[in-house]
């Protein structure tokens, strides 16, 4: 399809990550003339000085809602990776009219009243949950040490808060689900959305951090989601 110039991409990272993880992909999108926003959610990475057990999923939903509202963005291509799928679902509940396309990148797609804990994600017993090793994400070997060094702990409340879902995200005009082939965690999620003809689906032959392992292929898929 022909690209629409100047589309606004909002890229939401997964658990323990930050805006840093999108750099390879965001640079490619920007080079093609698009505006790219990759906010780091409250309490992690360069915002880890705000870390607190009180930070939860609602905090992160507000982070992204405010990114879109205060930067006056419309017709947004909203992308959520992994835990970011919870976040973008919540964002759609609040400002669906500003979203033209929603993309779940090897991500959770929650039903009403579900949390990451309910969906089988990693949740530690204390107030903070430590990152999984990059090896478990099947991150390409050359990047594993870097990814491991860049990840930070995250408030456990992010993973235990249950999300209210009315299905607003399903009304967004374009919906895409991307699965990372080398990380089996989201195979069943892909199968579920595949049964709905309103979704585009694809599989990328790489590890869970698709934006790091396969930025060129991911960029092409995201441009096709405009």
Q: Residue 99 in contact with residue 131, Cβ under 8 Å?
A: no
Residue with structure tokens 């780091």? 40
The DSSP symbol for 107 reads -
Q: Please, where are the H alpha helices in the chain?
A: 23-31, 57-70, 84-95, 141-150, 157-160, 187-194, 210-213, 215-224
CB atoms within 10 A of CB 207: 25
Give per-residue burial for 135-172: e unless 16+ CB within 10 Å, then b. Answer: eebbbbeebbeebbebbbbbbbbbbebebebeebbbeb
Annotated catalytic sites, by residue?
82
């Amino acid at each position: 399809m022909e690209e629409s110039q100047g589309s606004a991409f909002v890229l939401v990272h997964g658990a323990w990550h930050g805006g840093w993880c999108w750099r390879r992909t965001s640079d490619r999108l920007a080079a093609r003339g698009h505006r790219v926003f990759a906010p780091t959610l409250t309490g992690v990475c360069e915002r880890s000085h705000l870390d607190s057990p009180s930070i939860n999923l609602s905090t992160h939903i507000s982070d992204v809602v405010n990114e879109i509202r205060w930067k006056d963005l419309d017709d947004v291509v909203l992308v959520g990776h992994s835990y970011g799928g919870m976040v973008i679902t919540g964002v759609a509940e609040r400002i669906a009219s500003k979203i033209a396309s929603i993309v779940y990148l090897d991500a959770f797609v929650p039903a009403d009243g579900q949390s990451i804990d309910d969906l089988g994600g990693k949740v530690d017993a204390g107030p903070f949950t430590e990152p999984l090793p990059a090896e478990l994400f099947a991150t390409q070997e050359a990047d594993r040490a870097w990814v491991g060094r860049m990840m930070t702990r995250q408030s456990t409340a992010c993973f235990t808060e249950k999300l209210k879902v009315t299905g607003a995200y399903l009304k967004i005009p374009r919906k895409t689900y991307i699965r990372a082939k080398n990380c089996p965690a989201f195979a069943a999620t892909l199968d579920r959305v595949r049964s709905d003809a309103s979704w585009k689906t694809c599989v990328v032959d790489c590890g869970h951090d698709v934006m790091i392992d396969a930025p060129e292929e991911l960029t092409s898929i995201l441009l096709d989601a405009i």
